[in-house]
Amino acid sequence: MIPVTKPFLPPIEEYQKYLIGIWSRQWLTNMGPLASDLEIKLKEYLGLKHLLFVTNGTVALQMAIKALDLKGEIITTPFSFVATTSSIVWEGCTPVFVDIDKDSLNIDTSKIEASITEKTTAILATHVYGNPCDVVAIEKIANKHKLKVIYDGAHAFGVQINGKSIFEYGDISTCSLHATKLYHSGEGGLVIAKDPAVLKKLAYIRNFGFNGPENFVELGINGKNSEFHAAMGLTNFFYIQSIHDKRKELTDYYNEKLETLRAKRPIWHKEGTLNYAYYPLVFESEKLMLNCMEGLKGHEIFTRRYFYPSLANTLPYLEKKDFEVTDDIATRVMCLPLYVDLTLEEVNLICRLLLRIQNN
Ligand SMILES: *Cc1c(COP(=O)(O)O)cnc(C)c1O
């Protein structure tokens, strides 16, 4: 059986070493030494001044919306994971969807301004599959209309544009360190803010709004993460390069073998680096995509329609809305298996099957 993804697991002894420390300190959570160490290592690795290690990528988004005190309407993409939209609704704001660009699969910046009203307070865009949004165009629009910008960077760990971390863009960027993501801590997330005052507010929000044991300065939540998750993050930290290299090798091999497949990959940001988080393909037709999906399933090879359906016409708590590009792409897109344990032989088999199914 070949699943679409498999979490990376380091050698168990390396994780156990951290557990011994946790047992001897008896410090299990509340920003213990492992969580602090992970924050230091990650900010150095990513080239950031500060970042916060939090519960997960969803809470990271909710904290971001809260910290910027957003109200009213937030412009966002219908082509993302549900948490991008649900966080907006959860924080009492209204998501206003804007269609995506057919090449990058990110929010179409040429269509944002038409959706801005006097109630709009922010843009929340996803770097889909780790492909950077047009951050320059978004910043321009945001400045012109005095809007805040949040990037859902759940897929974008390690991505840079012009030698700078993608997480430096926007007022706040978030990342997910969930087990199925590229680099993970089991459950976990990151929040990055440009303005030190916003970062400070986020740090209070993460810890119930406490400023000292008997003093509150903000409306907060429990956004902390545990020493056990930090230990997983630290253990995996030493494998970031080898995870990247293996995923690149598999991706290059897919690219080479699938040259004649009637499917396209997203067009990457010109200055953006790749992190090989996913292997998405937009097939020529939904029929071909479904044939491929079913055909692979017959060989116990599992793919995923990621993202399908569009968030703008599926959520029971929102009015349904159709979008030309998103609805079309969502019906034809599929992600192929990609994880560190996958072998070149397995990729070869997947590619041979896909080409055979196409030619039948
Ligand atoms: C995974 C994901 C999230 C949520 O992250 P969790 O850590 O699972 O809460 C948010 N947005 C996108 C685009 C994601 O893929």
For 356, the token pair is 């055979």
154 CA to middle of ligand 1, Å?
5
Q: How many Cα atoms sit within 13 Å of 94 on the Cβ side?
A: 9
Q: How large is the C-alpha radius of gyration of the chain?
A: 21
For 307, the token pair is 């993202």
261 CA to middle of ligand 1, Å?
30
For the packed helices 57-67 and 196-206, what is the interaxial angle rounded to 10 degrees? 120
Structural domains in the chain plus CATH codes? 12-237 (3.40.640.10), 240-359 (3.90.1150.10)
Handedness of CA 20, 26, 27, 29 (dihedral sign): positive
In 10 A of CB 319, how many CB atoms?
7
Per-residue pLDDT tens, the chain, 360 aa: give them.
Answer: 999 999 999 999 999 999 999 999 999 999 999 999 999 999 999 999 999 999 999 999 999 999 999 999 999 999 999 999 999 999 999 999 999 999 999 999 999 999 999 999 999 999 999 999 999 999 999 999 999 999 999 999 999 999 999 999 999 999 999 999 999 999 999 999 999 999 999 999 999 999 999 999 999 999 999 999 999 999 999 999 999 999 999 999 999 999 999 999 999 999 999 999 999 999 999 999 999 999 999 999 999 999 999 999 999 999 999 999 999 999 999 999 999 999 999 999 999 999 999 998
82 CA to middle of ligand 1, Å?
8
Ligand 1 within 6 A of CB of 178: yes
Ligand 1 within 6 A of CB of 331: no
Assess contact for 104 and 266: CB atoms under 8 A: yes
Ligand 1, atom 5, residue with closest C-alpha: 57
